[in-house]
Homo-oligomer: A and B are copies of this chain.
């Protein structure tokens, strides 16, 4: 098997997390109407899902305090699925009341980060997941677990893969059918991403593996390809790379949806996303925010927009 042999997955599914992870990390909250307008423009673009909101403590995360209003205000597109991030049973219940299509339960792979982020231990988070699962199952709503700081933790440094795999297994036993490994602060490298997913897939072959990457140190695109090479076919990204870290000016947030979709399409890995439409939305939203976003394709344009795009067989010269 070479790195780009025919066994490379031919398709990746994209979870647009800009409205949640992107907007949550801005210093000033975005008005509810602007959030709804953004989600309504993203809805028809072919994403697998849109992470629209988080049902979390409005004191801790004021940017998400209007989650119920956002969910009530959007025009639901028949082909779109809307996800809420939740950290506990109350968030799960509120999400189900708001009619989400999928839940994204968050927990960290390190105790320090879970304490800082959610003010509780990993065991307490998993207990909350256990309490939340019956609600989700009764509503027929699938539950994913996102394990933040799965690769590196700003408090604890390098994260032991055995710890990640142990939490993933416990979540799978509780009924999660998708496990997402998050590089929350952009500390992962491609080799590490490849090997950790190789082990996750070998350990839990019946669970869908997903990846959530930040481009904080410029390796987001390489980490995405490493995940793809390991067999991961679901990833999170945000339009324009929205969501820079407030305490590191200029540092980017999530990998940019349109940059990743552009790269994958050029490789003939399809996503179903309307790239051209997405670029327009990213450009318009940059104007709405009044700040420059880190996305590159929205500035440079599509590589072959002005010329021919040859079929794969010729393009890779195989």
Q: A218-B295, A303-B186 are in contact. Are A267 and B191 (CB under 8 A)?
A: yes
The 6 A-B residue pairs with the shortest CB-CB distance in the complex, in nearest-first order: A157-B307, A218-B259, A161-B317, A189-B266, A218-B296, A187-B303
Contact A191 B268 (CB under 8 A): yes
Q: Which of B152, B215, B292 contacts A296 (CB 8 A)?
A: B215
A155 contacts across to B, CB distance below 8 A: 307
Interface residues of A (CB under 8 A from B): 1-4, 8, 152-158, 160-162, 186-187, 189-192, 194-196, 198-199, 215-222, 224-226, 229-230, 245, 248-252, 256, 259-260, 262-263, 266-268, 292, 295-297, 299-301, 303-304, 306-310, 314-318
Q: How many copies of this chain?
A: 2
Query: Shortest beta-carbon distance, A286 to chain B, in Å?
Result: 10
Q: A218-B297, A256-B218, A296-B216 are in contact. Are A190 and B4 (CB under 8 A)?
A: yes
A301 contacts across to B, CB distance below 8 A: 248
Contact B192 A266 (CB under 8 A): yes
Q: How far is the CA of A155 from the CA of B303 in the complex (A)?
A: 11
Contact A300 B186 (CB under 8 A): yes
Q: How far is the CA of A316 from the CA of B230 in the complex (A)?
A: 13
Contact A252 B296 (CB under 8 A): yes
Contact B217 A262 (CB under 8 A): yes
In the complex, what residue of chain B is closest to A157 when comparing beta carbons?
Answer: B307
